[in-house]
Structure 1
Amino acid sequence: MALVFDKIILFGDSITQLAYNQEFGFCFGPAMQDGKVILAYLNLEGRKQSHPFAVYNRRLDVVQRGFGGYTSNHGAIIVDRLIEQESTGASKIKLLVVFFGTNDSIVPESASNNSVPVERYQDNLRKIISAAQKVGAKVVLIGPGPFNHQQFDDALGHQFEVDRTTHRAREYCDATVDVGNELGIPTVPMWHLVMEEIGWREGDPIYGLPELPAVNPLNDYLTFLETVAEKLSITGLHFSGRAYKILFTNVLKAIKESYPELDPDNIPEHLPTWEQLTTSLDVLKKAIE
């Protein structure tokens, strides 16, 4: 048989582009390809041990297609060509993980001119979803995470006007969920997941607002540079290891619940294991015939 690896595409902006950056500690992209899930099993003597288990390694290739500064406007323009390019040959796209909205949610009066109205953002998501479905790919949507005004302002050295708010990040996260519900697409709402992680509940003051004290629980998760691997953001905007771990856990959860056929436990590994090759090389030759 042909030795073909189908693929998962991670499609988004700088948060996707940085998903392989080892300086952040836990990395979302490598975890999807080769995340070590510790499984307990009993050895011959009955003692519990830990066994590393790869996620999509030897099952599907995980391909990063993140573009810093991009909005869903840009994603909607390039998605057809991207899918065409990634679908060449026998390899097929099995899953498109879509993560825009962080730059779309910039305030409309921003000098960057990058703001995308929420209705346009939703239409762009629909176009991206449709493009994936035309080639038989499944889709997982990701909604933007929270924004920490104080940390972002620190990163800019207090020299520029901050053109983002956590309220707008939440609005675009909720808009992502609405599109997912409309089209039956699983969604990972990062704004809510990160806020829940720090113990925030509806009705509490929303951490990250400029009028609130600079020191707040969100600082431990959305922090600039210091101990990046232990925090959730490097600029009050981007993710670090802790946020990427939340993302990874919930993307896998969405896959398992909505697309059981793409659950790594349900996808056989390519080629025989090394244990199967210890007796004869014929096993390997037969596997690629």
Structure 2
Amino acid sequence: MAANVQDTIMLFGDSLTEMGSEAGGIVQRLSAVYKRKLDVLNRGFSGYNTRWAIPVLEQILAKKSEQANLPAVRLLTIWFGANDAAVPETHRQHIPLAYYTDNLTKLIRLVKDPSSAHYSPDTKIVVITPPPVNTEQWAEKKATMDPPDNQLDRSFEATKAYARAAKEVAAREGVEVVDAWTVLWKAAGEVEGQLSQFMSDGLHLNENGYEILYNELISVISTKLPELHYEKLNDVFVSYRDIDYANPDPSLQKRKA
């Protein structure tokens, strides 16, 4: 079996990732700058928590025996916590903080642990923390549901704790982190009500929020993983200007990004 053309960036997460393919989203922005270099794959699953994510990632990732015939995942982002942090009394998505930490560690080690069937030493991992929650905006959103839901199932402080835990796991496992919680909180002037500038409903990001997240991710790539910055990568196939018109086939051979 021949290898596919381009290696990939895989974004794995919950609805914050899934919705990133919409106009101005993180997936759309990455696809624009990595075109012809790396394929950007959206593997976001709305409503999922880290417990449900583990068996899914085991099926998404290639096993070591399969990797030679499949595009390599050069960069994997892991973005969970918004659902894990749901208020336990009102929501079945909730995962206790200690289990969230364990689950996030397992997701990372599926790739990083040499004993894992999915071990991929060349895959770089970036953990993204859950963003802050604008509870007023989220309560307004829930009140408009059919039927209305007046139970507030997210907590500002709980989500902050899960964001802090995600940073701690990333540091302990030796992978990079994008602190979405802090950059968005600072952008809002550390005022919860002002988060509405960056959120569509108090839980999910709007185009402005994704822009901040994208810029932070590119900054982390630039400083921590510079070999994966889009400006450092080749187009897999050369520009039409570099084709040898008299004998095109040799100049049209795939090259590593």
TM-score by length of 2: 0.87
Q: Deviations over 1:3-50 (max 9, x none)?
A: 62010100000010000112xxx221121011xxxxxxxxxxxxxxxx
Q: Deviations over 1:228-269 (max 9, x none)?
A: xxxx21211001101101111111111222222212222211
Alignment partner for residue 93 of structure 1, among 59, 73, 90? Answer: 73
1:6 is aligned to 2:4: no
Distance (Å, rounded) in 2 between the aligned partners of 1:260 and 1:284: 32
Larger CA Rg, structure 1 vs 2 = 1
Q: Deviations over 1:201-245 (max 9, x none)?
A: xxxxxx44xxxxxxx3233x2xxxxxxxxxx21211001101101
CA RMSD of aligned residues (A): 2.1
Is 1:148–1:218's contact at 8 Å kept on the other side of the alignment?
yes
Q: Deviations over 1:111-162 (max 9, x none)?
A: x311111111111111111112312211000001111111111111164210
Shift of the 174–288 alpha-carbon distance from structure 1 to 2, 3 Å rule, reads: same
Shift of the 2–114 alpha-carbon distance from structure 1 to 2, 3 Å rule, reads: closer
In the other structure, the counterpart of 2:101 is 122
1:286 is aligned to 2:237: no
In the other structure, the counterpart of 2:28 is 30
Is 1:2–1:288's contact at 8 Å kept on the other side of the alignment?
no
Structure 1: 5+ residue runs without aligned partners? Answer: 35-54, 201-206, 209-215, 222-231
- Write out the 4+ residue segments of structure 1 that deviate beyond 6 Å after TM superposition: none
Distance (Å, rounded) in 2 between the aligned partners of 1:147 and 1:281: 60
Distance (Å, rounded) in 1 between the aligned partners of 2:246 and 2:45: 43
Q: Deviations over 1:88-119 (max 9, x none)?
A: 73311111101000000011212x31111111
What are the residue-to-residue correspondences of 1:171-210 with 2, within 5 Å? 171-200=161-190, 207-208=191-192
Is 2:137–2:202's contact at 8 Å kept on the other side of the alignment?
yes
1:169 is aligned to 2:170: no
What are the residue-to-residue correspondences of 1:1-289 with 2, within 5 Å? 4-22=5-23, 26-34=24-32, 55-84=33-62, 87=67, 89-110=69-90, 112-133=91-112, 134-136=119-121, 137-157=123-143, 159-200=149-190, 207-208=191-192, 216-219=193-196, 221=197, 232-277=198-243, 280=245, 282-288=247-253
Percent identity of paired positions between Structure 1 and Structure 2: 27
Secondary structure at the residue paired with 1:152?
A: helix
Is 2:37–2:235's contact at 8 Å kept on the other side of the alignment?
yes
